[in-house]
Amino acid sequence: MSLDDHAEELASDLGVDTQEVKRKLEKMAEYNVPMSEAKQSVRRDYGDEGGGTSVPTKNVAEITTDDSNVGVTGRVLSVGKRSIQYSGERSVIFEGELADESDRISYTAWEDFGLGPGETVQIGNAGVREWEGDPELNLGESTDIERVAESLSVPYEVGGEASLAELEPGDRGVAVEVSVRECEQKTIDGRDGETEILSGVLADETTRLPFTDWQPRPQVEEGTPVRIENAYIREFRGAPSVNISEFSTVTPLEEPVAVAESAPRYEVREAVESGGLFDVELAGNVVGVRDGSGLIERCPECGRVVQSGQCRAHGAVEAEDDLRVKAILDDGTGTVTVVLDEERTAEIYGGGIDAAREHARDAMDREVVADDIREELVGRAFRVRGALSVDDFGATLNATTFEADGADPVERATQLLEEAEA
């Protein structure tokens, strides 16, 4: 039975306008509300209780994905405002968490109930849907909300305050105090044509994370400490990414924000199993240097590596020389491909692009550059820090630092002992 059929049947049953019912069902289908629940909800909108089942009142810990509708009293922990694309139109929704003494739960409000962090509210008839395995409250047309004067005491922090290390994809209404470490303006092809955005890296004393500011603002500037409110978190290459939207606020801070100087150390296997880490330190032996290392050629249009002057996307191009290393690092638990950029490659090779070109010309073979690098790296131990991404082709770490490891065996042994004790 199609959605149209359901709408027609339900509308005639209730004696109301079919198009209106159809719109309501479509809106819920868009967010994966099961048809049976959607129909029940529409019935309630028209004052038909569909058999007179009343909405049970529960505490947060009692709400499960088996519930279709509940009444609950809780304290609003966070409120995030976000605009979404729905049936070709933009609409604004509110998302966050609320809690009582028993537990906390996510909610999405499809209408503006004017919720504010810290408020205690009595919610009548919230829909329940499953979101990544957990129940989530849906507040919409059939929901009524009353403010409760007496504030509920809850064992959770109000206001969405978090450190970067605590953030997870899906978090909303988040507030962080961070230092902007890197920031660049980019032009992307958005849904409204070409759009300017800012992207870069944020840091606090727990870790570093990438960010996107969808509405470039001057306060977001390299080297500036800022407080960001009402951000939401998405997954980017397996790691959380902070999204600053048109509804977020960014306020410069007077005091500097302390930042983590080192990245957490992982074993290779552990890091790869995590699915991606934005800032991680690995250590191991380089067991090989892959083809496509050394003096390579890139397409000037898209930056892809080209072979014999042919780009996969742009055909015959005037290729530009570049230096790169793709080294295989092995720590006994697994392997990753470590990618070094021009600057880091030049350090290892002992010369820049011009030197590499001359070397290749003299030898009449570009491979001599990769051969030198191979000799320099293979069989030696290195410590590497950077962003790890994992896909079907394996794990790749884009290095921000790459250093010889274990220069002093005594120091290394002491460090290992300390780590084992910790």
Residues that bind Zn ion (CB under 5 A): 299, 301-302, 304, 311, 313-314
Q: How many CB atoms lie within 10 A of CB 200?
A: 18
- Cα atoms in the Cβ-side hemisphere of radius 13 Å centred on 353: 11
Query: Closest distance between Zn ion and the C-beta of residue 317, in Å?
Result: 6
Q: Kindly tell me which of 314 and 380 has the beta carbon lying closer to Zn ion.
A: 314
Query: Closest distance between Zn ion and the C-beta of residue 212, in Å?
Result: 24
Q: Kindly tell me which of 164 and 311 has the beta carbon lying closer to Zn ion.
A: 311
| φ, ψ (nearest 5 deg) of residue 45 | -55, -35
Q: Rg (Cα) of the chain, in Å, rounded?
A: 27
Q: Kindly tell me which of 265 and 298 has the beta carbon lying closer to Zn ion.
A: 298
Query: Closest distance between Zn ion and the C-beta of residue 22, in Å?
Result: 46
Q: Which two tokens stand for residue 271?
A: 């890091």
Whole-number Å distance between alpha carbons of 201 and 211: 6
Q: Kindly tell me which of 234 and 314 has the beta carbon lying closer to Zn ion.
A: 314
Query: Closest distance between Zn ion and the C-beta of residue 187, in Å?
Result: 17
- Yes or no: say if 227 and 204 are a contact pair by the CB < 8 Å rule: no
Strand partners, 196: 187
- Yes or no: say if 189 and 231 are a contact pair by the CB < 8 Å rule: no
- Yes or no: say if 240 and 305 are a contact pair by the CB < 8 Å rule: no
Query: Closest distance between Zn ion and the C-beta of residue 319, in Å?
Result: 9
Q: Kindly tell me which of 35 and 316 has the beta carbon lying closer to Zn ion.
A: 316
Whole-number Å distance between alpha carbons of 62 and 74: 13
Query: Closest distance between Zn ion and the C-beta of residue 399, in Å?
Result: 24
Q: Kindly tell me which of 35 and 302 has the beta carbon lying closer to Zn ion.
A: 302
Query: Closest distance between Zn ion and the C-beta of residue 300, in Å?
Result: 8
Query: Closest distance between Zn ion and the C-beta of residue 303, in Å?
Result: 7
Query: Closest distance between Zn ion and the C-beta of residue 302, in Å?
Result: 3
- Three-state SS string over 207-267 comes to CEEEEEECCCCCCCCCCCEEEEEEEEEEEECCEEEEEECCCCEEEECCCCCCCCCCCCECC
Q: Is the dihedral of CA 73, 24, 40, 134 positive or negative?
A: negative
> In what helix (H) or strand (E) does residue 343 lie, and over which residues does it extend?
helix 342-349
Q: Is the dihedral of CA 161, 165, 166, 167 positive or negative?
A: positive
The one-letter amino acid code at 262 reads S
Query: Closest distance between Zn ion and the C-beta of residue 301, in Å?
Result: 4
- Cα–Cα nearest to 122, from 61, 64, 70, 66: 70
The one-letter amino acid code at 357 reads R
- Tell me which residue has tokens 């390299």: 222
The angle formed by the CA atoms of residues 46, 114 and 55, to the nearest 5 degrees, is 40
Strands 134-139 and 104-109: parallel
Q: Which residue is nearest to Zn ion (CB)?
A: 299
Q: Kindly tell me which of 105 and 299 has the beta carbon lying closer to Zn ion.
A: 299
Whole-number Å distance between alpha carbons of 291 and 111: 56
Q: How many CB atoms lie within 10 A of CB 211?
A: 25
Query: Closest distance between Zn ion and the C-beta of residue 189, in Å?
Result: 16
